[in-house]
Amino acid sequence: MFSRRQLLALGLASPAYSAALPGETHMATGVKTGELTPRSATLWLRRTASSLRLNNGIVRRGHQSQAVFLEPGLSPDLLEGAAPGAPGYFQVRYQSGARRRSSRLLEVDPTADFTAQLLLDGLQPATSYSFLLETRATRNGRVDGELTGRFRTLPLATSPTPAHIALLSCQMYCHMDSPDGFALYRSIERDQPNFLLSCGDNVYYDNESPIARSAPVALHHWQRMYSLPSLHSCLRHTPGFWQKDDHDTLSDDAWPSMPPGRMAPLTFAEGQKIFRDMVPAPPPARPLYRSIRVGRHLELFLTESRDYRSPNTDPDSPAKTIWGDEQKNWLFSALRSSDATFKILVNPNPLVGPDRNSKKDNHANASFASEGAAIRRFLRDNFPHNLIAVCGDRHWQYHSVHPDTGLHEFGCGAASDAHAGGTPGLDPAYHRFHRVLGGYLTIEVDTSSPQPLLQFTHKNVEGNPVHRHRFPGRPQA
């Protein structure tokens, strides 16, 4: 753990930070609040054997060509950052104002790495809630760990309210930029958005050590990432929505029928399950594509870019797909039905780009050119003025406008400067902004004047603006 001197140097030795690193919580991987609606929220809970991550374990780090497999017989529980799970129970006490409520006692699931997901419903819209997590080893045992947090429910779709969202992607453990994890999470915590949106590559199974060839090693990637103090603290106070991409499903550019290759025996299907276990997620019977309505003026549409795709290696044709017919039908219908002033398409991968010619897995590539062109034409013909695309996956920040359809796209970039790179370079035909450093993107709706404004701001990892663009909406009634 960090010494008090280190915490002072980071500005973290405060009562608020002490609450993020309590002595006995048995919650080393913290809590995640997600899937917010005006009336509900889902809490992701995990009981751990220790209250702290293993900071003096065996270090296994390395990126791409330096990445190695875990040695046979070596348990991931012995690695630096490990936070093994443990059986037990949770109860959640939550309140808004003077009204207090308690959940039922909830047992963690050992087949889901000792996690549980609790739906809190019957909540009030646009209301702040604080919560206290209590955990115990046995149903009738004493409470041996507590952790506090907070969230705010979403406003009703009729409410002309402002909005503030933070978008991030591509966080690689060996490219951390702060002793407590990632500076970006401290910046987002200071921003106090309505929620953050992590749009894929939350961990990297395949090209950083230890390469995940089994579910226990894949789970270790999540344990060591989300037990980092900066993530632990931010996510106690900042709810979120999570999407997955290739590296946090199986491997680079993965599709469902792709042989796992060097990742074997880990499979694509195991990766799908692990993702749902590790974040607040829709129930298993529901797809991961979904929309988020944030008041009268904003609706976000989250796509799933891995589960339905054709093999990247197939020849391009109108039938070749990333999203699949069912998802596209849902998306096009939901977009047409939405009466939000602004609509934002949140895709883990680029729709505009441009991208490197060597890449073959997204709609900005020649490999999926037919579907990409059809989607962009649909968006141009139906939503020429109030739909904007945002994405993760690319390791540079950018604002592009498609030359033929006029579709704007904002790429949030990588989560640290060390993980930035790989760009094809500045393309004046597309780019309005291009920066090869880490950071995140904020999306804000300003309702202070009769005409609402939608603002996109690229920020560096310290939270300082480096680019801003605004879109006017129709005047408010």
In a domain, 359, yes or no: yes
Judge contact between 351 and 364, C-beta under 8 A: yes
Which pLDDT does position 24 carry in this prediction? 81
Last residue of a domain, one of 124, 152, 180: 152
Which pLDDT does position 475 carry in this prediction? 67
Which pLDDT does position 476 carry in this prediction? 64
Are 243 and 359 found together in one domain? yes
Which pLDDT does position 473 carry in this prediction? 86
Q: Which one, of 377, 382, 375, 365, lies nearest residue 404 by Cα?
A: 377
What CATH number does the domain containing 81 carry?
Answer: 2.60.40.10
Instruction: Write out the DSSP string of 359-427.
Output: --SSTTSGGGHHHHHHHHHHHHHH-TTTEEEEE-SSSSEEEEE-TTT--EEEE---SSGGG--------
Q: Which helix (H) or strand (E) holds 19?
A: helix 15-20
Are 62 and 176 found together in one domain? no
Give the model confidence (pLDDT) of 228-277 as tens digits: 999 999 999 999 999 999 999 999 999 999 999 999 999 999 999 999 99
Please say if the pLDDT value at position 131 is more than 80: yes
Banded pLDDT at 12 (limits 50, 70, 90): very low
Banded pLDDT at 477 (limits 50, 70, 90): low
Are 318 and 375 found together in one domain? yes
Are 229 and 305 found together in one domain? yes
Please say if the pLDDT value at position 317 is more than 70: yes
Which pLDDT does position 8 carry in this prediction? 32
Around Cβ 52, how many Cβ atoms within 10 Å?
15
In a domain, 12, yes or no: no
76 vs 23, more confident: 76
Q: Which one, of 432, 419, 433, 454, lies nearest residue 176 by Cα?
A: 419
In a domain, 10, yes or no: no
Long-range contacts of 314-317 (CB under 8 A, 24+ apart): 316/366, 316/367, 316/368, 316/369, 316/370, 317/370
Domain range spanning residue 50? 22-152
Please say if the pLDDT value at position 136 is more than 70: yes
Residues 130 and 121: their CA atoms lie apart, in Å, by: 14
First to last CA, the chain: 54
Which pLDDT does position 98 carry in this prediction? 87
Q: How far is CA 360 from CA 2, 254, 308, in A?
A: 43, 11, 16
Are 125 and 197 found together in one domain? no
Residues 384 and 392: their CA atoms lie apart, in Å, by: 23
Distant-in-sequence, close-in-space partners of 425: CB < 8 Å, separation ≥ 6: none
- Output the average pLDDT for the chain: 94
In a domain, 68, yes or no: yes
Q: Which one, of 284, 224, 249, 277, lies nearest residue 117 by Cα?
A: 277
Distant-in-sequence, close-in-space partners of 248: CB < 8 Å, separation ≥ 6: 200, 201, 202, 203, 204, 205, 271, 275
Last residue of a domain, one of 152, 182, 198: 152
Banded pLDDT at 342 (limits 50, 70, 90): very high
Are 113 and 217 found together in one domain? no
What CATH number does the domain containing 294 carry?
Answer: 3.60.21.70
Please say if the pLDDT value at position 19 is more than 50: no
Are 85 and 204 found together in one domain? no
Judge contact between 91 and 106, C-beta under 8 A: yes
pTM above 0.75, yes or no: yes
Last residue of a domain, one of 152, 185, 201: 152
Q: Which one, of 399, 477, 461, lies nearest residue 433 by Cα?
A: 399
Are 393 and 328 found together in one domain? yes
Which residue carries 């930029």 as its tokens? 177
Percent of the chain with pLDDT over 90: 93
Are 172 and 145 found together in one domain? no
Please say if the pLDDT value at position 4 is more than 50: no
Are 148 and 169 found together in one domain? no
Peptide bond into 350 cis (omega under 30): no
C-alpha count within 13 angstroms, C-beta hemisphere, residue 26: 22
Which range (15-19, 40-44, 279-283, 412-416) has the least confidence? 15-19
Judge contact between 312 and 365, C-beta under 8 A: no
Are 301 and 427 found together in one domain? yes
Distant-in-sequence, close-in-space partners of 161: CB < 8 Å, separation ≥ 6: 126, 155, 294, 295, 296, 297, 445, 447
Percent of the chain with pLDDT over 70: 95
Please say if the pLDDT value at position 21 is more than 50: no
In a domain, 4, yes or no: no
In a domain, 15, yes or no: no
Are 144 and 113 found together in one domain? yes
Please say if the pLDDT value at position 435 is more than 70: yes
In a domain, 158, yes or no: no
Averaged pLDDT, 411-416: 98
Banded pLDDT at 23 (limits 50, 70, 90): low
Give the model confidence (pLDDT) of 155-181 as tens digits: 999 999 999 999 999 999 999 999 999
363 class by beta-carbon count within 10 Å (0-12 exposed, 13-18 middle, 19+ buried): buried
In a domain, 13, yes or no: no
Task: Give the count of domains, the chain.
Answer: 2
